[in-house]
Amino acid sequence: MGALPEHVLKAIREGGASADPALNQMTKALFATLIDPPGGVNEKLDIAYGDHARQKLDVYRVDDGKTGKTVVIYIPGGGFVGGDKRQDPIYFANVGRFFARHGFVGVCANYRLAPEFKWPAGPSDVQAAIRWVKANAASLGADAGKVVVFGHSAGAAHVASYLFDPDIRGGEEVLAGVLASGMYALRKGEIRANVAQYFGDDEATFDRRSALSHVKNFKVPVFVALSEFDPTYLATPAFEMARALTLRDNKSPPFVRLDGHNHFSSMCTFGTVDDSFSAPVLRFIKAVGG
């Protein structure tokens, strides 16, 4: 973290623990000039993996002649009702380019949104995107058996559901998952309006629709992350996920608390001098065989 300019660190601290859209905009503006510029990465954008306009993905890779690469698929956040894999020329191409430059095939995928599309549309779309990647792995220079899925915020909730839901069973399809600052359990009194638009507000369904309810059924390796200034309702699920994985495995999972970061800045660090998040993620992917 020391490599970041002090004015960036100060602004993050002063912004506090929030997931407010204004903080999102401020944070991304702070990092815009710190991210490595484009170049040297082959980018194929808006490839359809389904019939809906939101079912598209971007592919980032370096044309170095190598094949059999691991694919890292990034699923962005947006509160279940918004968000985009390429909301501007910087985000989240910075994530796709980062993985491409480190020897992987980077993929960033969108998914359908609430309120039009409700649970389980998110994990179903994650699965459809992953299956598209597997089916087209050879043309991407990738190994269909080496796919890691990485989600942040609402994207992390979708990835967790994909990995652990007993009907979707995504944990049987991928090498591993990375979960950052997501909501993995539904509880009375904690359901915000945007969350209800996706998951619904019927308490009788909460246990079934909570990824945490199904963790013990799948042995897929999972890396868990949260930020120091995540709001409470997005911070506590990370500890609960780590607890569930610890009980499942009889050992603690790979876990990082990103000191000095807020809900949005964690993903802004990819492609910058701040490797407090990207370095442990790379180590995890390599450790699981990626």
Secondary structure element (H or E) that encloses residue 260, with its range: strand 255-262
Token pair 């944070």 is found at 27
Quick count: other Cβ atoms within 10 Å of Cβ 112?
16
Tell me the backbone φ, ψ of residue 190, rounded to 5 degrees.
-115, 10
Q: What is the mean pLDDT of each run of 10 residues along the chain (290 residues)?
A: 84 96 97 94 98 98 96 98 95 98 98 98 98 98 98 98 97 98 92 94 96 97 98 96 98 97 98 97 97
Q: What is the pLDDT of residues 34-58, one digit of tens each?
A: 999 999 999 999 999 999 999 999 9
Residue 189 has a pLDDT of: 82
**3-state SS, residue 231:** coil
Cite the DSSP H helix spans in 43-200.
93-101, 121-135, 137-140, 154-164, 193-199
Whether the CB-CB separation of 179 and 160 falls below 8 Å is answered with yes
CA distance 289 to 16: 37
Residue 1 has a pLDDT of: 47
- Indicate the length of the chain as a whole number: 290
Residue 190 has a pLDDT of: 83
Tell me the backbone φ, ψ of residue 266, rounded to 5 degrees.
-55, -45
Q: Sheet containing 222-229: which strands, arranged edge to edge?
A: 42-48, 56-61, 105-109, 69-75, 142-152, 176-180, 222-229, 255-262
Domains of the chain: 6-32+43-287 (3.40.50.1820)
Name the percent of the chain lying above pLDDT 70. 99
Residue 188 has a pLDDT of: 85
- Name the pTM for this structure: 0.97
Q: What is the pLDDT of residues 112-133, one digit of tens each?
A: 999 999 999 999 999 999 999 9
Secondary structure element (H or E) that encloses residue 23, with its range: helix 21-31
Burial of 281 (0-12, 13-18, 19+ CB in 10 A): buried
Residue 93 has a pLDDT of: 98
CA distance 23 to 12: 9
